[in-house]
Amino acid sequence: MKKVKVTLYGVGAVGSLIAKFLLEKEGIEIVGAIDIAKEKVGKDLGKVLGIGKTLGIKVSNDVNSVLSKEKADVAIHTTSSYLKETYPQIASIISHGVNVISTCEELSYPYLTEPELSKKLDTLAKKHEVTVLGTGVNPGFLMDTLVITLTAVCQKIKSIKAVRVMNAATRRLPFQKKVGAGLTVEEFRRKIENREITGHVGLEQSIAMIADALAWKLDKIIAEPVEPVIAKKLVESKEIKVESGRVAGLKQRAKGIMNGKEVILLDFQAYIGAEEEYDAITIEGTPPVRQKIQPCVHGDLGTVAMVVNAIPKVIKAPAGLLTMKDLPVPSAAIEDMRKYVKV
Ligand SMILES: NC(=O)c1ccc[n+]([C@@H]2O[C@H](COP(=O)([O-])OP(=O)(O)OC[C@H]3O[C@@H](n4cnc5c(N)ncnc54)[C@H](OP(=O)(O)O)[C@@H]3O)[C@@H](O)[C@H]2O)c1
């Protein structure tokens, strides 16, 4: 049986963690690596990953040459959060007849913000007989797919609440920066306003995915303003020191409103020094469901797992643009990848 061939599109923080995990796994072979970062282009992937050996794969910014040189079964795409930016990248992967698994947050439920691009991706994917999936730990699992799965034991549902609280100190540096750790409150507000930092992207997509699964017609989705969490004492990560009075991270909430009532509430908090870390889901209904994961699922480890575990399911899925709710029940693929998918 042939190995499952993977091309990396994006070798940043998450792409590198995924690459290192793939190198440990049986039955998988990395056949190409794409990135535009000057310090990476032209270098051996092993060097870029800092694993102390070369892999014979040069990181390239020439998308067409990488994708046509050796046909991959799947491309793992980890460049950016917004579909307007990633659309041409994803379209080029599809046009080479390669399946796509992407961590682009808007792609986790792209019909919400980009209905036209979603249609185009679906048509293109069907034409080239490949599957496109946006996934990750969140969006992709904790505040949507897991919530949807838990609703399976309910006969009636009044409301759903999901809360994720995490200590940003345990996460990769781009994430700590994205939540504003170390900034003054004024800097934080300015950077949020001019979109230099984004906060968490995906709460609205998660709400839309849950509503779609339940066939709830929401009146609207409200994303509340992103608020800073201010350090009450000195808190620090390996990379960032946050003095008392400065921003340790952020909190943000989004709500799904139906018939004038709040039926879905997602509450996301990520800051350095969070003492209690957890993922909690509460479903008010018949029967009620209360689920709490403690500590919260580690975001980076969880994202790497979600992406790699999705490989066999995506290879076997029907062609087109899919979301996590369209795939079979998610599960780990811990054995030799060839056992899950015959390539
Ligand atoms: N759904 C989830 O649960 C989840 C979880 C984790 C991450 N994410 C998302 O996944 C994405 C990647 O995260 P990250 O932390 O790895 O970010 P990162 O460290 O900034 O890595 C992105 C890499 O892609 C490169 N890149 C940017 N545009 C490109 C293009 N057009 N073609 C090729 N390469 C390009 C970047 O180069 P430059 O540095 O030169 O721009 C960088 O090397 C982010 O949007 C993040 O929010 C989602």
Domain ranges across the chain: 4-136+301-340, 145-296
Of ligand 1's listed atoms, the one at least distance from the Cα of 15 is: 16
**Rounded distance from Cα 198 to ligand 1 centre (Å):** 13
**Rounded distance from Cα 14 to ligand 1 centre (Å):** 7
Q: Which two tokens stand for residue 189?
A: 């507000």
Ligand 1, atom 44, lies closest to the CA of 80
Q: Do domains 4-136+301-340 and 145-296 have the same CATH topology?
A: no
Position 5, amino acid: K
Ligand 1, atom 28, lies closest to the CA of 79
The rounded distance, in Å, linking the Cα atoms of 109 and 118 is 9
Q: What is the CATH number of domain 4-136+301-340?
A: 3.40.50.720
Q: What does pTM read for this prediction?
A: 0.96
Which tens digits make up the pLDDT trace of 138-187? 999 999 999 999 999 999 999 999 999 999 999 989 889 989 999 999 99
Q: Can you tell me the mean pLDDT for 111-129?
A: 98
**CATH number for domain 145-296, candidates 1.20.120, 3.30.360, 3.30.70, 1.10.3470:** 3.30.360
Of ligand 1's listed atoms, the one at least distance from the Cα of 34 is: 33
User: Which residues of the chain form beta strands (DSSP E)?
Assistant: 4-9, 28-34, 59-60, 74-77, 99-102, 131-134, 156-167, 220-223, 227-230, 235-236, 241-242, 247-258, 261-271, 278-286, 289-293, 320-322
Which tens digits make up the pLDDT trace of 214-259? 999 999 999 999 999 999 999 999 999 999 999 999 999 999 999 9
The rounded distance, in Å, linking the Cα atoms of 54 and 342 is 28
Among residues 149, 171, 118, which one has the least CA distance to residue 283? 149
Of ligand 1's listed atoms, the one at least distance from the Cα of 299 is: 5
Contacts of 268 (CB under 8 A, 6+ apart): 138, 143, 163, 164, 200, 203, 251, 252, 253
CA 276 to chain centre: 23
**Rounded distance from Cα 287 to ligand 1 centre (Å):** 41
- In the 8-state DSSP scheme, what is residue 143? T
Pocket of ligand 1 (CB under 6 A): 10-15, 34-37, 78-81, 89, 103, 105, 136-140, 172, 174, 303
The rounded distance, in Å, linking the Cα atoms of 299 and 199 is 14
**Rounded distance from Cα 95 to ligand 1 centre (Å):** 21
Q: Can you tell me the mean pLDDT for 273-294?
A: 97
Which tens digits make up the pLDDT trace of 18-56? 999 999 999 999 999 999 999 999 999 999 999 999 999
